[in-house]
C-alpha cells in the first residue's frame, strides 16, 4: 500500500499494464520524454521505450485513426487526448468507427482500446481545457465511458478497463489529479468499471456524483450534515455508459430522495438521464422530486469566474436541503 495521488495511480496502472501486456501501446502528443502535459506518463517511455510509449505527430484524428488500425491488428492502444477540448478532431473516428466496428463486421473485427482524456473544469486553465461533455460520449452506442473520483478508483478502474474487450473512454478529472492522497494497493487490482460504487450506505437520501464533483460533494457534506445530520447514501456513479441502474434504482427506492451532482451543461445531460429513469421506475417511492445540481447551459468561463460556473459548495448544499425539506 502507498499513499498516492490520482496522477500517480494512473501512472502506476499504465506501468503495470505495459508490463503485463506486451501488445499494450501508449500513443499521444508529448507523452514520451515530457511525460504528458500533466506528467501522467512520466518515466514510462524511459522504462518501456519509444516503440511502446509513442510521441505522435500533432493530429487527434491521426491518433484516433491509428488506434483503430493498431487495435484491429491485435495491439491494445491507449491513446491519450491531451485535453477534453481537443477530442473533437478525433471524435469522427470515435463516433463513426471505433464504436461501430464490432456491429459493422458482426464481430469479425473489434476495436478494444482505452481512450484517456483529461476532463472537466476547475484548474484555471485556458479555453477548451475545461470541458464536461460526457453526455455526448455516453449518448453513443458501442462504447463504455468510465470516470474515477479518487486515487484508489483511478488505479483499479483503469486496470479493469485495460482488460476490456470493448472500447472505453476513460475520463480523468484533472481537478483532482493532485488534490487527493489516498492509500492504494501497490499491486495489480481491479474495480468493476461497469458498477457504481456505494461510498456510504444510508436510508434517507441518495446522493449521486462522479469525477471531481464527488470530491466537491464530499467537501460540502460536513457543513450540510452539521445542520441536517441525516442517514445519507453516497454513490459514485463510475460508469456513465452503461449506467449501473441496478444500484441506482435500488437506492432510489430505498431512500425516496435523490440528488445528482455534476458539472455538465444540464440540457440533455447525464443528470437528466438519471432523473428521467429514476422518476419513471421509482415514482411510487419518491418522497421528493429528483434534484439535479449541475453547471449551466453556457460555455465554461475563463478562470476569473470559472468557479462560479462549477457546482459551488453553496449550490450543492442548497440542492441537498431542497430535497430534504420538500413538502
Partner 1 sequence: MQFKFPDVGEGIHEGTLVNWLVKEGDEVELDQAICEVETDKAIVEIPSPVKGKLIKTHHVEGDVINVGEILAEFETKENKESKESKESSNNQEVKNDNVVGNLVDADNAPKDSSFDFENYTPSMKLSNETIFEKANTKNEVENNKVSNNDNTNYIELNNIKLTTAKRMKESLHSTAQVTQFADVIVDKIIKERNEHKEEAKKRGVKLTYLAFIVKAYIQTLEDMPEFNAKLDLENKRLVLRDHISIAIAVNTENGLLVPVIKDAQNLSIEGIAEQIQILAEEARSGKLDLPQIQGQTATVTNYGSIGSKYSTPVLNSPDLINLGIGSFEEKVYLNKGHVESHTIAPISLTFDHQAIDGAQAVGFLNKLQEHLENLEY
Partner 2 sequence: MEKVFYTHDPRVNSVFKVLDKNGIIINNINHGITNTELLEIYKWMIRINAADKKIINLQRQGFMGTYPSVQGQEACQVAASFVLSKKDFLVPTFRETGMMWAKGIPLKSLMLYWMGNENGSKHPLDTEVLPICIPVGSHLPHAQGIGWSQRLKKQEEITLCSFSDGATSEGDFHAALNFAAVLKSRTIFFCQNNGFAISTKTEKQTKSKTIAEKAFAYGMQGIKVDGNDVLALIIALKEAKEMAKNNTPTLVEASTYRLSDHTTTDNAKLYREDEEVKEKLEEEPISRFEKYLISLKILDQEKINQIKEDAKKEVESISKEALAEKDPELTEMFDYLLEKTYPELELQKKALLQEYSNQ
Binding site for partner 2 (CB under 8 A): 25, 51, 54, 56-57, 59, 61-62, 64-75, 77, 89, 92-93, 96-97, 101-110, 141-142, 144, 164-166, 194, 242-243, 245-246
CB-CB contact of 143 with 137 (8 Å) = yes
Nearer to partner 1, 85 or 156 (CB): 85
Query: How many binding residues for partner 1 (CB under 8 A)?
Result: 50
Count Cβ atoms below 10 Å from residue 96 Cβ, excluding itself.
Answer: 9
Give the interface segment with partner 1, choosing from 105-113, 161-169, 261-269, 310-318 (CB under 8 A): 310-318
CB-CB contact of 185 with 1 (8 Å) = yes
Given candidates 14, 16, 38, 56, which one binds partner 1 under the rule CB under 8 A? 38
Nearer to partner 2, 18 or 68 (CB): 68
Given candidates 31, 221, 290, 320, which one binds partner 1 under the rule CB under 8 A? 221
Q: Is 83 in the site for partner 1 (CB under 8 A)?
A: yes
Q: What is the largest CA-CA distance in the chain?
A: 63
Adjacent-strand bridge partners of 183: 3
Q: Does the active-site annotation cover 129? A: yes
Nearer to partner 1, 191 or 324 (CB): 324
CB-CB contact of 131 with 117 (8 Å) = no
Q: Is 218 in the site for partner 1 (CB under 8 A)?
A: yes
Given candidates 15, 37, 254, 273, which one binds partner 1 under the rule CB under 8 A? 37
Burial of 92 by CB count in 10 Å (0-12 exposed, 13-18 middle, 19+ buried)? Answer: middle
Give the Cα separation of 98 and 65 in Å (integer): 9
Minimum gap (Å) between residue 195 Cβ and partner 2: 11
Catalytic residue among 128, 129, 188, 308: 129
Instruction: Please list every residue from 86 through 115 that binds partner 1, using CB under 8 A.
Output: none
Minimum gap (Å) between residue 179 Cβ and partner 1: 4
Q: Is 194 in the site for partner 1 (CB under 8 A)?
A: no
Q: Choose among 79, 101, 100: nearest CA to 90.
A: 79
- What cell does 132 get? 464536461
Give the Cα separation of 122 and 59 in Å (integer): 26
Minimum gap (Å) between residue 108 Cβ and partner 2: 5
**β-strand pairing of 24-28 with 53-55:** parallel
Q: Is 20 in the site for partner 1 (CB under 8 A)?
A: no
Give the Cα separation of 92 and 196 in Å (integer): 29
Please give the DSSP secondary-structure letter assigned to residue 94: I
Q: Which residues 6+ apart lie within 8 Å of 231 measured at CB? A: 202, 203, 204, 205
Nearer to partner 2, 241 or 265 (CB): 241
Q: Which does 157 bind (CB under 5 to 8 A by kind): partner 2, partner 1, none?
A: none
Q: Is 198 in the site for partner 1 (CB under 8 A)?
A: no
Instruction: Please list every residue from 245 through 304 that binds partner 1, using CB under 8 A.
Output: 256-257, 284-289
The length of the chain is: 327
Minimum gap (Å) between residue 244 Cβ and partner 2: 9
The sign of the CA dihedral 240, 245, 249, 255 is negative
Q: Choose among 105, 106, 55: nearest CA to 79.
A: 55
Contact residues for partner 1 (CB under 8 A)? 5, 30, 34, 37-39, 83, 123-126, 129, 174-175, 177-181, 199-200, 202, 204-205, 218-219, 221-222, 225, 228-232, 234, 256-257, 284-289, 307-308, 312-314, 324, 327
**What positions carry a catalytic annotation?**
129
Amino acid at each position: 500500500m502507498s499513499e498516492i495521488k490520482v496522477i500517480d495511480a494512473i501512472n502506476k496502472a499504465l506501468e503495470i499494464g505495459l508490463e503485463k501486456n506486451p501488445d499494450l501501446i501508449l500513443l499521444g502528443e508529448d507523452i514520451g520524454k515530457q511525460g504528458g502535459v500533466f506528467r501522467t506518463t512520466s518515466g514510462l517511455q524511459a522504462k518501456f521505450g519509444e516503440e511502446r510509449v509513442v510521441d505522435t505527430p500533432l493530429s487527434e484524428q491521426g491518433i484516433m485513426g491509428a488506434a483503430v488500425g493498431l487495435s484491429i491488428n491485435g495491439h491494445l492502444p491507449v491513446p491519450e487526448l491531451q485535453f477534453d477540448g481537443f477530442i473533437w478532431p478525433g471524435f469522427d473516428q470515435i463516433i463513426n468507427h471505433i464504436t461501430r466496428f464490432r456491429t459493422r463486421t458482426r464481430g469479425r473485427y473489434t476495436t478494444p482500446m482505452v481512450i484517456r482524456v483529461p476532463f472537466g473544469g476547475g484548474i484555471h486553465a485556458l479555453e477548451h481545457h475545461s470541458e464536461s461533455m460526457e453526455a455526448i460520449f455516453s449518448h453513443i452506442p458501442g462504447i463504455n465511458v468510465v470516470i474515477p473520483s479518487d486515487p484508489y478508483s483511478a488505479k483499479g478502474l483503469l486496470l479493469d478497463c485495460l482488460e476490456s474487450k470493448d472500447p472505453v473512454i476513460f475520463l480523468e478529472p484533472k481537478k483532482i489529479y493532485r488534490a487527493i492522497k489516498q492509500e492504494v494497493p501497490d499491486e495489480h487490482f481491479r474495480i468493476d468499471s461497469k458498477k457504481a460504487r456505494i461510498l456510504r450506505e444510508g436510508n434517507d437520501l441518495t446522493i449521486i456524483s462522479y469525477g471531481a464533483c464527488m470530491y466537491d460533494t464530499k467537501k460540502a457534506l460536513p457543513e450540510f450534515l452539521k445542520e441536517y445530520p441525516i442517514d445519507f447514501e453516497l454513490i459514485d456513479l463510475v460508469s456513465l455508459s452503461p449506467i449501473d441502474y441496478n444500484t441506482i434504482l435500488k437506492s432510489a427506492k430505498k431512500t425516496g430522495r435523490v440528488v445528482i451532482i455534476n458539472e455538465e451543461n444540464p440540457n440533455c445531460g447525464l443528470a437528466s438521464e438519471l432523473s428521467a429513469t429514476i422518476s419513471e421506475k421509482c415514482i411510487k417511492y419518491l418522497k421528493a422530486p429528483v434534484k439535479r445540481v449541475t453547471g449551466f447551459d453556457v460555455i465554461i468561463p475563463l478562470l476569473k469566474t470559472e468557479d462560479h460556473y462549477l457546482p459551488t459548495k453553496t449550490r450543492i448544499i442548497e440542492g441537498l436541503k431542497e430535497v430534504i425539506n420538500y413538502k
